[in-house]
């Protein structure tokens, strides 16, 4: 194990020999690190935090800290992090609260850029990107392959669907449709599918064509959401079915 002399590792912490712990890092007594993790410097890992393998933590990030919730009374809540994540400077991730399920989760292979925040009890999937200063309030769900742009605040209990791309500076107060390109000029709007991002993820022209039809029904046809939803259900393929199911289970409404 490579541990800088200025680092402080509490008794009880689990730090495998394959990990590198840089200067002025602190690791709390209930932290469990996976293999091959790197703490560059000035990293704080706290609380009942379980971290997978091959994660990199950049300077001044604070991971597993107490939730920013006035109702929190020191209950033994947790944070779970998967494998292969890159967590950049000044990122903060709060552990859960007793009233919100008790666990905040981050999946695998995510990039959290400088200043991003994941609030208590939020659930972030895998292959997600949170750009600089993207801010998730408590109880937010970010599904796999979604991108939240720079300086985007996401309201409590909102869901961002799979493969969605949210433009920088968008204030998210409703659920964001899967596959969508959603951004804000004067008001939040979905502008269609995230065509470039989906193509980069290997979506075939046929899948993109079905999604374009679905979004035309939702955004451009003179139909209300209920009417458009029935038409979307008639389209073939799992992507249209996923989109329809997302809309049906939305409690806050969706950004159209």
120 classed as catalytic: yes
Out of 46, 121, 175, 239, the active site residue is 121
Out of 34, 120, 161, 239, the active site residue is 120
253 classed as catalytic: no
* Rounded CA separation 205/78 (Å): 42
Report the sign of the C-alpha dihedral through residues 136, 167, 187, 228, in that order.
Answer: negative
Q: What are phi and psi of 56, to 5 degrees?
A: -120, 125
Q: Which residues contact 187 (CB under 8 A, 6 or more apart)?
A: none
Write down how long the chain is.
Answer: 256
Contact assessment for residue 41 and residue 59, using Cβ atoms and an 8 Å cutoff: yes
Out of 107, 119, 138, 149, the active site residue is 138
Q: What is the DSSP letter of 186?
A: S
Which pairing describes strands 62-65 and 44-45: parallel, antiparallel, or unpaired?
parallel
* Rounded CA separation 76/93 (Å): 16
Contact assessment for residue 205 and residue 198, using Cβ atoms and an 8 Å cutoff: no
* Rounded CA separation 12/30 (Å): 6
138 classed as catalytic: yes
* Rounded CA separation 25/11 (Å): 14
DSSP one-letter string for 104-129: EEE-SS-EE-TT-EE-TT-EE-SS-E
Contact assessment for residue 56 and residue 85, using Cβ atoms and an 8 Å cutoff: yes
CA-based max dimension of the chain: 66
**Which residues are tagged catalytic?**
120-121, 138
């Amino acid at each position: 194990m490579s541990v800088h002399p200025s680092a402080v590792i509490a008794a009880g912490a689990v730090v495998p020999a394959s990990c590198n712990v840089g200067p002025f890092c602190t690791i709390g007594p209930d932290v469990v690190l996976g293999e091959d993790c790197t703490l560059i410097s000035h990293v704080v890992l706290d609380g009942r935090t379980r971290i997978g393998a091959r994660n990199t933590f950049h300077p001044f990030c604070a991971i597993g800290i107490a939730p920013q919730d006035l109702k929190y009374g020191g209950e033994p809540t947790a944070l779970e992090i998967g494998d292969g994540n890159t967590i950049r400077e000044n990122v903060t991730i709060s552990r859960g609260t007793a009233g919100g399920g008790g666990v905040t989760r981050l999946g695998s292979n995510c990039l959290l850029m400088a200043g991003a925040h994941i609030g208590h009890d939020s659930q972030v999937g895998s292959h997600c990107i949170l750009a600089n200063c993207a801010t998730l309030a408590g109880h937010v769900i970010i599904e796999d392959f979604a991108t939240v742009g720079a300086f985007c605040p996401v309201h409590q209990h909102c869901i961002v669907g799979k493969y969605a791309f949210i433009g920088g500076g968008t204030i998210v107060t409703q659920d964001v449709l899967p596959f969508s390109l959603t951004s804000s000029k004067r008001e939040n709007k979905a502008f269609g599918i995230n065509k470039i991002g989906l193509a980069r993820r290997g979506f075939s022209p046929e899948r993109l064509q079905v999604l374009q039809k679905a979004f035309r029904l939702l955004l451009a046809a003179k139909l209300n959401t209920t009417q458009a939803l029935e038409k979307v259900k008639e389209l073939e393929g799992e992507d249209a079915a996923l989109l329809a199911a997302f809309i049906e289970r939305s409690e806050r409404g969706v950004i159209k």
